Structure formats: structure tokens, C-alpha cells
Amino acid sequence: MKEFQTKDIRNVALIGAAKSGKTTLAENMLFEGKLINRKGSTDEKNTVSDYRPIEMERQISVNASMLYTIYNDKKINILDTPGFSDFSGDIVSCLYAADMAVCTVNDNTIRELKEYFGDKVTPIQYPVNAGEDFNAVIDLIMMKMLVFKNGNGAPEIQDIPAAEMAKAEELHNNLIEHAAEGEEALMEKFFEEMTLSEEDMERGIHLGIVNREMFPVICGAAKRGVGVTRLMEFLINACPSPADMPAIKAKNGQEFHNSNDDPTALFIFKVTTEQNLGDVAWMRVYGGTVSKSQDLINPRSGNKERLSQLLVFRGKNREEVEKVNAGDIICTIKLKDGRIGDSLVDAKAAEATFEEIPFPTPIFSIAVKAVNSQEDEKLGSILNDMHKTDPTVISGMSRELRQNILQCQGEYHFNTLKWYFDNVYKLAIETTAPKIPYRETITKSASASYRHKKQSGGSGQFGEVHMQLAPYFEGYTDPSELQVRDKQEYELPWGGKLIFANCVVGGAIDARFMPAILKGVNERLEQGPLTGSYARDIICYIYDGKMHPVDSNEMAFKIAGRMAFSAAFKNAGPKIMEPIYDLDVRMPADLMGSVMTDLQGRRAIVMGMDSDHNYQTIHAKVPLAEMDRYSTTLSSLTSGRGTFTMKYAEYQQVPTDVQNRLLKEYEESQKEEE
């Protein structure tokens, strides 16, 4: 493969809804570039992009694929992304590395885009005979009709029919005006001549794309190859090369201009695991040249990394190259410690690191465990590997819930991970809904005592503790009848506070046993008396007790403290608190009613609404306990067009009926364990 200069490279991400033709378009682009001699199809399970077994089975893209084609002696790097939002991690990664995106849409979507973005959405072509027989477009730059008689290949160029001329001239003039806005010199020329040449129009469009002031619309039918060559010509003639893009600024302020004159700097935007290769790092070259066996520095770790091979990929096919220039996209293997988001730089840019990719936060959670508990360690290792290649997959053992929680971008995303467990790793897993991290607290004061006495031959155990509990709140005052000798305040790891006060007088309990009593209280805070959840915001006064000169020890007072706490807690107006989240749901305006009805059934409190063109955003507060599988429900209610974000807000008391249900469920679970 020849070496391509920066000006001869185009970096394009293909984005769009599932089944909108991205993979088919990529197949046609490779065919027109003569990189393949036969077009595959998703139906026949033989496309270059969707080469993984799961993709062939489902006939959709599950992972992004790296491809390239060559047209008019220019290299077009293609990042074919999945269409489902569940795989948004790959979409975000590829958009981070590409200079532009080709979004595949249908005619109805174009109208919606124009309503949303306004005149920035600008037709470059429009179809003459839309429908099953579509094969001709009016090209508003060339002002010709392009007829793709054989689907693929170059079109036959014809004059615009008289019936289309008025519409074509109106849209052509509109396009000229938008193109002229790209540069002052073009605007002056337009005012002088009231038109622009084809070359001037392409320059204006080029500047509009770079400045994100124009989103051109081109027509085609990927399945039959209609319009693909014209699209590729447009990418080459009117769209920016990496050299035309704004400089990339590293965190330390150092700028990289996609120039060979810059220090060598690469950014790892994706990592995949390929059969017979292991981990493959996908890298965008932001500066300098890159050669095989070159040594670079990873500023995050300070370690040196050798690029043992430089590879270009076309799906599962790969080709080794010796050198690439700034602006290109390349792969390497066998990095010691290269992660998504890492920078690799030479000594001239040793302190330069690029901004990390802002991956979306998880919206779906599920508890997982291995069917065979002896394989739990293997499960953890697999989940770590999944996170390495897809940072939107997050997992970890929750000490509080005593569950391994897997978070991802939706139920379909999880089902894809499950497919890998079943078919690749051969590991059987069980899933359950995640437990809710409730909190327990009290609403009034109460006292209790407990005597722990145990005699089993020889020295025994004896400890008696008298305890008063009170709710903690800012500005509280100690009871006047208690003489507080010592008081400690503890910030609890799970939120809230514990105030532990020694009010014992007359030596009823020796001070050396206070830490043991505190330990017993802390054990009960970690497993609350009501549901086993963490307890918080409690003042604990130890005001009396008894000791035995021989049998009293730390164990006895720890047990006495724990049991006295439990008894007092249950008499102190105990309440269960649940986590409340701020929820923002965005959906088309005409679907707001069904979304609102569903939220009301989830005990949500609507705080407000915002309007954004044809979309509405509902702002609400909702209990976490009501949000299990909400991503699936919202997708169903909105046909995949609704999105949401959640952020922890606060803890609030649960309603009485909910508390009674939780108490009953916990009681039954304890009986089952016995």
C-alpha cells in the first residue's frame, strides 16, 4: 500500500440508525475503490464490515469496523459504526477520531433534521424519481441530472429536464448563498457576479463543513449503489482533509495541526480483540509521522511503547505498512499498556496528553454471578476484558449490596454481552435485578439496654449496656438529663453521620470498653435492624451499664452494644430511606403523554419541562427502586427515539406502604436463610 500525504486523506465515520444502510454503503465504497471485486450483503452475511459471528448471526453491526477505500488516488478511512444506541461507546469513539460523519437517513428524517438544525441542512442533490425505481438525482453543484443506469459506477450526466428546472434553480441559488457565507472573498464575489463557479461552491461548502455551518445532503440508494461514486467525489473535492481541520490542543496547551512538522503524537480511540492477534489499538495520528518499530512514550504511565507493527484494516483483513503521515488512522498490536484514551508521543511532546473521550454514563444495571461459584474469578476477568474494549461496560462487586453489578447502555447491550459469555467464553451466568441501596434511620429518641451473659466453664462473658438513640440533624442539642463526658463525630462511608457519646458516670463501664461498644454499634450500622441496609444519621448515648470483675471483656461489650442498639433503634420511629435520582427524559413532543403516564406509575415527581424544536425534555425526581429496565421501557414507548440521563440527588423516606412491603420481604428472606 502506498504512503498517503495528509492532504490526500479523508477520515469519515458512518453513523445512522440500525438498518439504515451504513454497512451496505461501506461495501459499495470499497467496491467502487476496487478494494473488493464483489459486493457482499448483510442478508448473505458476507460484508467486509460485519465479519464477526454475532454480527452475521444478527445481521446488524455490533462493533465498529475500520475500513478504507481509495478513489481518485485519495485514501478514505471509513469507520463503520453500529446503529443501536446501546453501542454508543463505539459511536462516540469513532466520532472522536474522524474529521466528519456521513449520517444515513431517509427523506422523512431529512425534514426533521431541517426543522431542528434549520438552513444549515443544505441539499446538494435531490431525487428525481424517489421510490423503488430511484436512479436519478439533480446535482445542484453541477446543475446536471445524474442517472445511475447500472447502479454502481459513474453516472450518465444529462441536462436537467424542463419540468425540474425551476425547482433546481431555486435550490441551486439557495446553495450558492450558503456557500458564499463560508468566506468573505466568496461573499464579495457573489455580490459582484450574483453566482459562483462550481469550484467556488465546493470551496464555500468545504469551509462551511469545517466551521460546522453547513450540513450537506446527498442522495443515494446504498443497496443498489446509486450515488456512491458522486458521494466519494464530494468527500474528496468538497470535504476537509485532516490538514484543513482546526488544531487539536493537548491538555498542556500544546497544539497539533495534523502536520508532519509537528512532534509525533497519536491518540488511542478504540481497542479491539482480534483472533490470532490479541489486542489491537486503533490510533489517530494528530502530529508527525509514524514508522514501524518506532518508540513512543505513554505520558499516563511514563512507559515506552514500541509500535512493532503498523496495520491498516478492512474488516478482518489487514495489511502491514511501513509509515503513515499526520492525519491518518492506523492500528498496532502488542502494546504493553495501551488503553482507550491514552496518548503516545515522542520526546518533543512528552508532556502532551489529549482529552479523554466523554463516554456516556450507564443507563442499565443488572446483578450477575457465575452459575458455578468457583468461576466467579473467571467472570471478573472477563468483565475487565470487556471494559478494556468497551468503556461503557462497567462492573464491580458492591460491598453494600453483596452483588456483582454490571452496568451498560441498555438491555440489548447486555444481551450482546451475554452472547459472548455463552458462545465465546462458555461461561454460564445468572442474573437478577440489583438490590436497592436503602438507608435506615430514626425519627425520635428511644432507650434500651442489653445484658450479655455467657457461662460455659471457666471464665465467662458479661457486659451490660444502657443506650439512648436520637436522630442526628444540624443544630441538634444533647438531652439535659445526660452528662456527656466525651463525644466523637464520625462521617460514615455511605453518607450521613454517627455521633457516639460517653455519658457513663460513676465507673459503671470502664472507658476501655467504649471502643468495643462502638464496634458493636458500627456492625449494626453496616447491617441495619430493619432490612440489613446501612443505617445513618444517629446519635448514640451510652449512659449506664454494668461490668463483672472477671468475666467482662471486649467481646461481651461489643455484643451488648450491638443488641442494645438494635432494640433502641426499633423503638425510635425507624424509617427506611430510598435513593432519589434527578431524571431528564428527552423524547419527541408527540410522545410526551405516554412517557409522562409511565413516569407517574414510577412514583416520579415532575419538576419541569423544556421544549427544543419538536422535542420535549421532562425533568423529574424518581426513586431508583422504580427505574429497573427503564431504558427498555422508554425505547418501546418512543420507538428508540427517547433518551434519558439519571444523577443521584438525595435520600428520602419511603412511603408507609413501601416500607411495610420491604420489612415483610426482609423478614421472609431471613427465614429462608435460616
pLDDT tens digit sequence for 14-50: 999 888 999 999 999 999 999 999 999 999 999 999 9
Name the pLDDT band for 459 (thresholds 50, 70, 90).
confident
Name the pLDDT band for 547 (thresholds 50, 70, 90).
very high
Residue 235 has pLDDT above 60, yes or no: yes
The predicted structure's pLDDT at residue 83: 93
Residue 30 maps to a domain: no
The predicted structure's pLDDT at residue 117: 79
The predicted structure's pLDDT at residue 614: 83
- Give me 573's grid cell: 420511629
What's the CATH code of the domain at 342? Answer: 2.40.30.10
- Give me 352's grid cell: 502532551
| 581 and 565 part of one domain | no
- Give the least confident one: 223-227, 296-300, 363-367, 428-432: 223-227
| 388 and 513 part of one domain | no
Residue 58 maps to a domain: no
Is 305 in contact with 384 (CB distance < 8 Å)? Answer: no
The predicted structure's pLDDT at residue 254: 95
Name the pLDDT band for 150 (thresholds 50, 70, 90).
confident
| 568 and 480 part of one domain | yes
Task: Kindly report the number of other CB atoms within 10 A of residue 301's CB atom.
Answer: 13
Task: Kindly report the number of other CB atoms within 10 A of residue 408's CB atom.
Answer: 26
| 511 and 536 part of one domain | yes
Cα separation, 176 vs 237, whole angstroms:
16
| 566 and 581 part of one domain | no
The beta strand positions in 455-530, using DSSP E, are 461-471, 486-491, 497-502
The predicted structure's pLDDT at residue 104: 92
- Give me 584's grid cell: 431528564
User: Mean pLDDT throughout 3-14?
Assistant: 97
Domain, as residue range, for 265: 248-349
| 483 and 559 part of one domain | yes
Cα separation, 557 vs 565, whole angstroms:
12
Boundary (domain end) residue, out of 415, 432, 449 = 432
Is 493 in contact with 536 (CB distance < 8 Å)? Answer: no
What's the CATH code of the domain at 563? Answer: 3.30.230.10
In eight-state DSSP terms, residue 250 is P
Residue 187 has pLDDT above 60, yes or no: yes
User: Mean pLDDT throughout 507-534?
Assistant: 95
In eight-state DSSP terms, residue 504 is -
Residue 12 maps to a domain: no
| 410 and 480 part of one domain | no
The predicted structure's pLDDT at residue 457: 65
Boundary (domain end) residue, out of 319, 349, 379 = 349
Residue 201 maps to a domain: yes
Boundary (domain end) residue, out of 349, 379, 409 = 349
Name the pLDDT band for 671 (thresholds 50, 70, 90).
confident
| Largest pairwise CA distance in the chain | 113
Instruction: Look at residue 201 and give its three-state secondary structure.
Output: helix
586 alpha carbon, distance to own chain's centre = 17
Residues in the chain: 674
pTM over 0.75: yes
Residue 65 maps to a domain: no
Residue 34 maps to a domain: no
| 407 and 452 part of one domain | no
The predicted structure's pLDDT at residue 578: 97
Residue 414 has pLDDT above 80, yes or no: yes
| 484 and 553 part of one domain | yes
The predicted structure's pLDDT at residue 673: 64
Using a pLDDT cut of 90, give the percent of the chain over it: 86
The predicted-structure confidence for 569-618, as pLDDT tens digits, reads as follows 999 999 999 999 999 999 999 999 999 999 999 999 999 999 988 899 99
The predicted structure's pLDDT at residue 223: 85
The predicted structure's pLDDT at residue 176: 94
| 458 and 565 part of one domain | yes
Residue 80 maps to a domain: no
Residue 69 maps to a domain: no
* Concatenated DSSP letters of 581-645: EEEEEEEEGGGHHHHHHHHHTTT-EEEEEEEETTEEEEEEEEEGGG-TTHHHHHHHHHTT--EEE
| 230 and 252 part of one domain | no
The predicted structure's pLDDT at residue 130: 86
- Number of domain units in the chain: 5
Cα separation, 559 vs 34, whole angstroms:
79
User: Mean pLDDT throughout 495-516?
Assistant: 95
What's the CATH code of the domain at 612? Answer: 3.30.70.240
What's the CATH code of the domain at 182? Answer: 3.40.50.300
Whole-angstrom distance between the N-terminal and C-terminal Cα of the chain?
70
Instruction: Give backbone dihedrals phi and psi of 253, rounded to 5 degrees, phi first.
Output: 95, -10
| 392 and 298 part of one domain | no
